[in-house]
Chain A
C-alpha cells in the first residue's frame, strides 16, 4: 500500500517535470500544422538568438526562486549593461574583451548588492530587487535617454558568429544545459535546494545560508549581464527599456520550466525550455492568426496558470503534513 502510494506520488512529480517539454512539443506541432516545413535547422539557428537572452535571465531567476526569492533587478541590469555596451564599448579586440568582462563583473556586483541588502537588512526579496531594478534602469536612462548607440561590428560579429552552420547562441544553449547538469551536482547546487526547502535544517546541517543566498543572487546578476551583452550584439544598439519585458518573462520561464521549492526540483534545461516556450508563444500566435494584441493577455494567463499548477503541486505535497491552511 505504502509502496504503491509512493510510486503514485513519484509519477505525479515526474509528470510535473515533463510538463514544459510537453507544452513545447504541442506548440511545435501546432506550428508545424499551420506552417508546414517552417521548422528546420535554419529556423532553429535564427530563433536561438531570441531564446538565449531570455534563457540566461530565466536560469538566473530559477536559481533565485529555488532559495525562495525573486530577482526583479534582472530587468534593470539587462537595460543597464545593454546601454553601457552600446555607448562605451571600444573598437579594439582587447578593448572589447576587457569591456565585456567588466560588464559581467558589474552584473556580479549588482547581484552581490541584492543579496547583501536582502540578507543583511532582511528585506523582502521582491521589494528589495524592485528598488535595485529602478536604480539600474535609472542609470541606463542616464547613459542613453532614447534608443540608440553604436556597437562595434566586431563584437556583433563575434556573438552572432557561426561555427560551421551552428550559431554561438545555439552552442551556448547546449553548453548551459551541460553546465546545468554539473551545477546541480555541485555543492552550491545542493546547498541551494537545502536552503530553499528547510532553511533551519540547512543551517543546523552546517550550510552557510547567508553565503549561499548571496552567491545565488550573484549568479543571477552575472547571467542577466550576459543576457544584456547578447541583446546588445543582436540588436546592435542600446535601449534603456530593453530589460523591462524580461522581468515578467524570466519569472514565467522559471515557473513554466518546472522549478518548485516544494519538491526541490529545478533544472537549467527546464528553464531554457520555459524561455523557448515564452518566445514561441508570439510565433505561435502569428502562425495561428491570433491578433498580436492578445499576446500579452495570453502571456499573463499562461503565467498565472503555470503558477497555479505549481501551487497545486505544493498543496498536493503538503496534504500529508498537518499544516494549518490560513
Chain B
C-alpha cells in the first residue's frame, strides 16, 4: 500500500495529464455535442494509438539524452514499403512485413551506431537518416506513394471491440511491455543509468554504446508500427504522411515528463503526453484553429514545459541543500 502511494505521488503530473485529457473531452462535449460521443471517442482512441506508438518509441532515445528526428520517414518508409511491395512487387504480406522489419531495424542500428561509436550528434544523425530514408524511398518507388494498404492490415487497424479500437488495445499492450522493459529488465536498469550519468554507468561495467544503440533501434521499430497502423487506418500510404509528427512526438515526450537531458520518465508518462496532444489537436480541429495557431501553440506549450522542468530541478536542488 505504502509503495503504491509513493508511485502515485511520484507520477502526479502524469495522472494530471490523464485527468486534464478526460476533463477536456467532457468540457468540449458540452459545447460540441459530437465531441463526447462514443464514435468520436473511438476515433480519438485510435489516433491516440498511432501517435502513442511514435511517442513511446521516441521515449527511448530521449531517455539516453539523445533525440530521434527520423520518426517521420521511419513511419512513412514502413507504410510505403509494405504497400508498394505488396501492390507493385507482388510480395506476400508476411514477406513484406519481414522486409519492413529488416529495413527499420537496419536504419535504427545505423543511426545508433553512428551516434554511439562515431559520436555524431544525435540530432544531425537522425535528421540525416530522415532525409536518407526519404531519398531512398523516393528513388525506389519512383515518386509513387505505394498505393492502397493490404486488406489484412486495414481490417486490423479498423477493427473494434464495442467502441474500443483493437489498435488501442494493442497499444496498451505495447505500453505494458515497454514498461516492463524499463522497470523490470536488465536493459531498463542500464538505460536509466546511461541516461542519468554516462560516466557512472561506464564505471559500473555497462556497455554504454550498446545501450544507446538499442534505444534507437527500439524507436525505429515503434515508429514503423505507428506508420503501419496509420496506413491501415487511412487505407493507403502517401509521401509526407509522417511529416507533422517529428515535432509532435517531442512535444508529447516533454509534456509526458521525460527529461530532455535523459534518464527521467517512462512510457506511461509519454503516453499521457500523447493522449493530451491527441485531444488538444482534435479540439483545435473542432474549433477550426488554423495550422499556424496549432504550431504556435505547440511551440509555446513545449517551451513552457521545458522551462518548468528546468526550474523544478533547480528548486529541487535548493531544497535538498537545506535538508542536509
Contact = CB atoms under 8 A, between A and B. Distances in A.
Contacts of B296: 134-135, 138-139, 141-142
Interface string B119-157: 111011101111110111011001100000000000000
Interface string B289-319: 0111111111110110011001100000000
B132 A297 contact: yes
Nearest to A141: B292
B302 A303 contact: no
A105 to B, nearest CB: 21
Contacts, number: 148
A121 B306 contact: yes
Contact of B292 (A123, A128, A139, A303): A139
B134 A297 contact: yes
28 contacts: A70-B123, A123-B310, A128-B306, A131-B300, A131-B303, A131-B306, A132-B299, A132-B303, A135-B296, A140-B292, A141-B291, A141-B296, A142-B296, A145-B290, A255-B124, A293-B143, A296-B131, A296-B135, A298-B135, A299-B135, A300-B135, A301-B132, A304-B114, A307-B128, A311-B120, A324-B202, A326-B198, A326-B199
Contacts of A70: 121, 123
Interface in A247-264: 247-248, 251, 255
A68 to B, nearest CB: 11
Contacts of B297: 138
A105 B173 CA distance: 52
Contacts of B290: 141-142, 145
A129 to B, nearest CB: 10
A294 B202 contact: no
A130 interface: yes
A155 interface: no
A134 to B, nearest CB: 3
Nearest to B247: A134
Nearest to A308: B118
Interface in A44-62: none
Interface residues of A, number: 49
A162 B208 CA distance: 57
Most buried by B among A124, A132, A315: A124
A86 to B, nearest CB: 15
Contact of A294 (B67, B135, B307, B311): B135
A25 interface: no
A246 interface: no
Interface in B187-235: 198-199, 201-202, 208
Interface string A103-138: 000000000000001000111101110111111111
Given A138-B292, A145-B292, A296 B307 contact: no
Contacts of A197: none
A133 to B, nearest CB: 7
A296 B138 contact: yes
Contacts of B247: 130, 134
B81 interface: no
